[in-house]
């Protein structure tokens, strides 16, 4: 048995350990049930769980997850506008975000899916040095979408 202050109290019968924990106003927690004899510790379990959740929360705050940024455009987009959107995609990829490029078709534009595929291929070529294709261009209803991931060879901040 280990005391509330962290000092060893020796091997005690269960009843005696429970009464000592009760007298101290703390809980008796089984730390290592597979050991022979099992190891128990006197601690305030509520306080321990609270400290554990606080520690997990601070770890989550300092983690940086990857986000998927979506850029939408249409088939009849101007050259400058497309370059502007590709520049945004480049910035997102350089800051370690994934980018989903979505080309929206409306009405009769659905017959020009080949032009849409050409546009997506051109975008891939422009972003080749900062990103790699994670999911190639594919039709999803009336949209063609592809996902680009940042290149793993470079370290971005």
Per-residue model confidence as pLDDT tens digits over 43-94? 888 998 999 999 999 888 877 767 899 999 999 999 999 999 999 999 999 9
- CA distance between the termini of the chain: 48
Q: Quick one: pLDDT band at residue 153, thresholds 50, 70, 90?
A: low
Residues in the chain: 157
* pLDDT at res. 33: 84
Summarize the chain as % helix, strand, coil (round to 5): 40, 30, 30
| DSSP result, 51-97 | HHHHHHHHHHHT-----EEEEEEETT--HHHHHHHHHHHHHHHHTT-
Provide the pLDDT for residue 38. 86
- Torsions phi, psi for 76 (to 5 deg): -95, 50
Q: What is the pLDDT of residue 124?
A: 93
How large a percentage of the chain has pLDDT more than 90?
A: 54
Question: For the residues 84-108, what does the mean pLDDT come to?
Answer: 93
Question: pLDDT of 20-38, one tens digit each?
Answer: 888 888 888 888 888 888 8
The domain locations on the chain are 14-61, 68-150
- How would residue 157 be classed by pLDDT, with cut points 50, 70 and 90? very low
Which CATH number fits the domain 14-61, given the four candidates 3.40.50.720, 3.10.20.80, 2.40.50.140, 3.30.420.340? 3.10.20.80
**Taking the model in full, what pTM does it have?**
0.57
Give the orientation angle of helix 113-126 with respect to helix 79-94, to 10 degrees: 50
Q: Is the pLDDT of residue 149 over 80?
A: yes
Architecture of the domain made up of 68-150? 2-Layer Sandwich (3.30)
**Averaged pLDDT for residues 127-150:** 93
Report the alpha-carbon distance of residue 142 to residue 61 in Å, rounded: 38
Q: Cα 67–71–73 angle (5° rounding)?
A: 165
């Amino acid at each position: 048995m280990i005391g509330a202050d962290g000092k060893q109290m020796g091997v005690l019968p269960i009843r005696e350990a429970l009464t000592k924990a009760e007298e101290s106003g703390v809980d008796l927690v089984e730390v290592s049930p597979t050991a022979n004899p099992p190891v128990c510790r006197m601690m305030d379990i509520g306080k321990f769980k609270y400290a554990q959740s606080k520690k997990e929360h601070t770890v989550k705050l300092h983690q940086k997850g990857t986000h998927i940024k979506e850029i939408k455009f249409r088939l009849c987009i101007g050259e400058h506008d497309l370059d502007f959107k590709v520049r945004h995609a480049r910035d997102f990829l350089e800051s370690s975000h994934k980018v989903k490029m979505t080309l929206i078709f409306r009405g009769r534009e659905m017959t020009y899916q080949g032009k849409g595929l050409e546009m997506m291929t051109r975008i891939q070529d422009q972003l080749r040095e900062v990103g790699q294709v994670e999911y190639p261009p594919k039709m999803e209803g009336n949209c063609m979408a592809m996902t680009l991931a940042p290149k793993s060879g470079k370290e971005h901040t």
